[in-house]
Structure 1
């Protein structure tokens, strides 16, 4: 008896809340390569000109209303790419609207309380949620995680080093961005601008690597910021201690001609190094190296990176396959980042106050 081949499942419909540079330069190019799995059906942006222009690129509907997008029957999964302060309410609304899965840009909440509320609604509705920290979905990271064996137990030093040009340079390489808001000029150093830069740098840039950091220091509740310094025009130098683990977080965004993004976890007898492609660059995965006294094993580069990886995971979850990150993992990742951001900002505020008093 011959069996007829089963027809492939129709692509899932995607609705995107927020049509800004991340949607235009990251998500639309990623989704264009995944047309057999996902199709953009609806773009929402509060700026109607942006919504219409971005939607026209992919033949989707557009609106300026979250309610209208969530009511669209062709939208199966939702990506939340709006400003941070709207993430929690929009994640909850997408879950309650009966969507099959939600991808939220980082951070997915602005407090532990918001994160717990999201987790409760996700559990109640059964809608899985993933957070777009793209490095956790990079195939090279995932391959190293599968192969590193006992390495995490011996790691004593972790380093995340990021050297990048400003985001608009990569955005303009990727696409013609519409509706970009010019970044505000940085106030004079020695004011609260340093505290804001450190907090924003942690929650906007370091947060990509913090879930990786936490993988090697489970005793993160007592994390301490030993040194915090803001760099001009934008960047940070942070030294932390979590249990017995030393953590170094460094970033600089300037006119560099050669971008670099690396992550290292160093132990007594083994080390992991991952060289990631820069943000917005979609030219394959990172390359990971696990080195011991005897050998070095290389993983990657693979054919896609973490941006595409997160969409692949979302499609699988929407179809009932794969495993979503646990609520505890998402909440712990967020609270780890918030604790570092708050502590780093707090370390420079006394210095700024002292400098202001000296000038008075």
Structure 2
């Protein structure tokens, strides 16, 4: 008796807007492991040399304009990996171009108004959007979410703690970076520099964990920053209240040899502790531990982490096999991050001594 197995669907074509270090060191290696379901077909960058070099690595076409990439009929899904200020307009254009799904690097907008405009266009066009906060797609986190039971209702303290070397060290481990822009040298920590470091830290680093924090803070709209300060050479210490939950956000990017990225949610008689793989690391997932009196449940590590997880999710929703997070969820995640960034920047800057005090 012969059996007719159904042929696997052909890979979805991927177009990438922006070809900087994140594309080169994170997305291309992830997509290389998923060639049976996703295939890079078009790469865009405003620097033609970078676009050509990155496209050549994967045998894709290249261009220097968004319009050319969005007009390419071989592009089914679009990844937006450009600087933050371009995200909202590019997400909207990708939706209007009739693509099957959009992956946007975080943050997907810089204001609540931009986020609302994106949500409206996504609803109007039916094009689903996911935001690349990779921890929400990590199998270790998803396994914890499925197993934690009544934990969210009893959590009183949440902590996100990040210790990393500078990004270029990881980028260079992952691939040979072309077109990297040197980091600006840091001057004195005046009011503007402190605000920029806190805002950049929250919107660039903490934002990976803030959707996780929000799972345990039902009153997320009532954010009260208790203390905020910068950490040299780059980092932050922020403590805040979100409703009845105390939240601690800590990060330091220094010359450490051992990176660590941990997330904790502590309740009255249960706790969750997750150790995530550091940025740019592709091997293995987070490991989660759920502790209750007398028992510890260990979940993970699994075979891939959130970098691959977000692409798997995008492929599923583009094929109609899954659903994207609701627009309301994405908007609330962004509003939560913006509220923390703004209040923490105000708090940290207000602690800077005035010039005449610092000379005393």
Give the TM-score band, short-chain normalised: over 0.9
2-structure distance, mates of 1:191, 1:25: 33
Aligned to 1:42: 42
5+ long unaligned stretches in structure 1? none
Q: Deviations over 1:292-340 (max 9, x none)?
A: 0020001000000000000000000000011110010000000000000
Q: Does the alignment pair 1:230 with 2:218?
A: no
Q: C-alpha displacement at 1:347, in angstroms?
A: 1.1
Secondary structure class of the residue paired with 1:146: helix
Asked if 1:316 corresponds to 2:316, the answer is: yes
> In the alignment, which residue of structure 2 is the partner of 1:180?
180
Partner residue, 1:53: 53
Tell me the TM-score normalized by structure 1: 0.98
Counterpart in the other structure of 2:118: 118
The root-mean-square deviation of aligned C-alpha atoms, in Å, is 1.0
Q: Tell whether the 8 Å contact from 1:190 to 1:355 is kept in structure 2 after alignment.
A: no
Q: How does 1:114-263 map to 2 (within 5 A)?
A: 114-263=114-263
1:358: which partner in 2? 357
Could you list the per-position Cα deviations for residues 244-293 of structure 1 after superposition, in whole angstroms to 9, with x for gaps in the alignment?
10000000000001100000000010000000000000111010000000
State the 1:356 CA deviation. Answer: 2.6
- What is the Cα deviation at residue 195 of structure 1? 1.2
Is the 1:190–1:351 Cα contact (8 Å) retained in structure 2? no
- Distance, in Å, in 2 between the alignment partners of 1:9 and 1:256 is 45
For residues 183 and 344 of structure 1, the distance between their equivalents in structure 2, rounded to whole angstroms, comes to: 24
- Aligned counterparts, 1:63-102, within 5 A: 63-102=63-102
C-alpha separation between the residues in 2 aligned to 1:280 and 1:228? 27
Question: What residue in structure 2 maps to residue 15 of structure 1?
Answer: 15
> Structure 2 length normalisation: TM-score?
0.98
- Paired residues of 2:227 and 2:348 also in contact (CA < 8 A): no
What is the CA-CA distance between 1:194 and the residue it aligns to? 1.1
Which residue is equivalent to 2:292?
292
User: 1:177-199: CA deviations, max 9, x gaps?
Assistant: 00000111112124321111000
Deviation at 1:161, TM superposition (A): 0.4
SS in 1 for 2:30: helix
Give the distance between the partners of 2:295 and 2:95, measured in 1 at CA: 47
- Give the secondary structure class of the aligned counterpart of 2:255: coil
Is this contact kept in 1: 2:101–2:314, CA < 8 A? yes
Q: CA deviation at 1:358?
A: 3.1
- CA apart distance, 1:66: 0.1
Q: Does 1:334 align with 2:334?
A: yes
The more displaced of 184-193 and 260-269 is 184-193
- Say whether 1:270 aligns with 2:270: yes
Q: Which runs of 5+ in 2 are unaligned?
A: none
Task: Check conservation: 2:38, 2:315, Cα contact below 8 A.
Answer: yes
1:2 positional shift: 4.6
Structure 1 Cα separation of the partners of residues 256 and 307 of structure 2: 23
Match of 2:26 in 1: 26
Task: Kindly tell me the number of residue pairs found equivalent between the two proteins.
Answer: 359
Rounded to whole Å, the distance in 1 between the matches of 2:244 and 2:37 is 44
Using the alignment, how far apart are the partners of 2:57 and 2:194 within structure 1?
39
Where 1:252 maps in the other structure, the secondary structure is strand
Cα–Cα, structure 1 residues 343 and 7, in superposed 2: closer, same or farther, change >3 Å?
Answer: same
Q: Tell whether the 8 Å contact from 1:165 to 1:256 is kept in structure 2 after alignment.
A: yes
Question: Which range moved further: 190-199 or 6-15?
Answer: 190-199
Shift of residue 359 of structure 1?
5.2
Q: Is the 8 A contact 1:274 1:287 kept in 2?
A: yes
